[in-house]
Amino acid sequence: MSLATSAARFCQAFRNRDYSIYCIGSSLTVIGLWMQRIAIGWVTWQLTESPTWLGIISFAELFPVVILSPFAGALADRADRLTIARVAQCLNMAQATILTILTLTGTLNIWLLLALALWTGVVVSFWQPARMAMIPNLVRREDLASAVAINSVIFNAARFVGPALAGLVIVGYGAGYAFLANAVSYLPFIAALFMIRPRADLAPRKSRGGIFVQMVEGYSYSLKHPGIGPTLVLMMVACICLRPVFELLPGYAAEIFERGAEGLSMMATVTGIGAVVGGIYLGQRAGLEGLVQLSLVSVAAMIAALLVFSLTSNFWVGLAALSVAGGAMVTHGAGSQTLIQSAVDEHMRGRVIALYGMMFRGGPAIGSLTMGWVSDWAGLRLPLIVGCGLTVIALGWMVLRRNAIRDALEARGGISP
């Protein structure tokens, strides 16, 4: 396959007007989001110097999705997803503005930071299923894989641009200005959300039964599906046991590698670079064939890379391991999302995608809290090594079922209209 063909296949989602507007508007926002994430981690460490508090703040931001996602997913299948998205982004901008004011005035403490992290977690619980379920409304069904990959590349390009900028801003001006940049970055995205008009033929149906009944239907459908259920199980294990390392990077930077904000920024940056490479590779692939195998290989690569990261004291070896882990994380996560989006029935999309989001955000929340607490008395290395071992077991279970999973997920090349 020529480079031009690969690039054209990767970019084909941009032929959809609304998706192009959405991507342009979201690009600055995700850079601001990563600036804020790095700044929050750094401020938390400055206020407490505690891995446990790093885990608690991460838990507060990520765990609400576990409680609220089933309700939010059912809501995304009943209500206007675009309206949910607009309200969520306005609330996110308000949170970033308050965080900016508290930091610049010197009144921020760990308890206020905890409350604001919880605010973000609640809002994102509703935003995430609406956003992910809305993407197929913005593109032709044959462009879905391209759209998912482009979203992943944008998010993960911001993973290294945002931390790099955050490191410069924090060192030069202080964390408050990183929060300010995030607040301002929401403006173009909110404007974009008022400009787009998603496809009406994939709008949520009027649903029968109460929202609780729909939540139960979503769980039942996902767990009984021969492909979606196992995919979500592996996602849950990997997110609990492996992904918390990215939330605990401030502790690794300070305690293991004896680096400051610049070291933390470099670690987040190389993770993002690897993630972008993984996303680009995923986006230029044709169709769904082989995507289940790629997802499984990616989990194996992430396990190997994080084992190296957990055992080394060499900063540069650690950076190399993080870049591999970042690429593997994206090919597994975005690949799994593409398979699920292609296989799920449209009337169940919001609820199933909400469960995916629950694993993707709730898993690291549980893992970060647990690993942070264990790290206070056992060090940062041991919890990650144990997590790698547990993920090996889940991966082995998936490998034994791979043929049935492949038949269930790779047979459908697009979304049912």
Contacts with 417 (C-beta within 8 Å, 6 or more apart), sequence order: 141, 201, 202, 346
Nearest to 45 by CA among 314, 239, 252: 252
Question: Rounded distance, CA 161 to CA 408, Å?
Answer: 37
**Domain of 386?**
16-196+210-409
Residue type (1 letter), 117? A
Question: Is residue 11 situated within a structural domain?
Answer: no
Question: Is residue 322 situated within a structural domain?
Answer: yes
pLDDT for res 146: 78
- CATH of residue 63's domain is 1.20.1250.20
Question: Rounded distance, CA 417 to CA 414, Å?
Answer: 9
Alpha helices in 284-401 (DSSP H): 291-311, 315-343, 349-357, 363-378, 381-400
pLDDT for res 413: 46
Nearest to 352 by CA among 361, 365, 343: 343
Ramachandran angles phi, psi of 99, nearest 5°: -60, -40
Question: Is residue 403 situated within a structural domain?
Answer: yes
Q: What is the pTM of this model?
A: 0.72
- Alpha-carbon Rg for the chain in angstroms: 20
| Predicted confidence (pLDDT) per residue in 240-290, tens digit | 999 888 878 888 888 888 887 788 888 988 888 888 888 888 777 766 778
Question: Is residue 414 situated within a structural domain?
Answer: no
pLDDT for res 417: 34
Residue type (1 letter), 298? S
Question: Rounded distance, CA 257 to CA 197, Å?
Answer: 49
pLDDT for res 296: 95
Question: Rounded distance, CA 388 to CA 407, Å?
Answer: 28
Number of residues written out for the chain: 417
pLDDT for res 207: 53
Considering its fold, how many domains does the chain have in total? 1
Alpha helices in 194-314 (DSSP H): 211-224, 228-241, 244-247, 249-251, 261-283, 291-311
Q: Using 50 as the pLDDT threshold, list the residues of the chain that sit under it.
A: 202, 413-417
Question: Rounded distance, CA 237 to CA 243, Å?
Answer: 10
Question: Is residue 123 situated within a structural domain?
Answer: yes
Question: Is residue 205 situated within a structural domain?
Answer: no
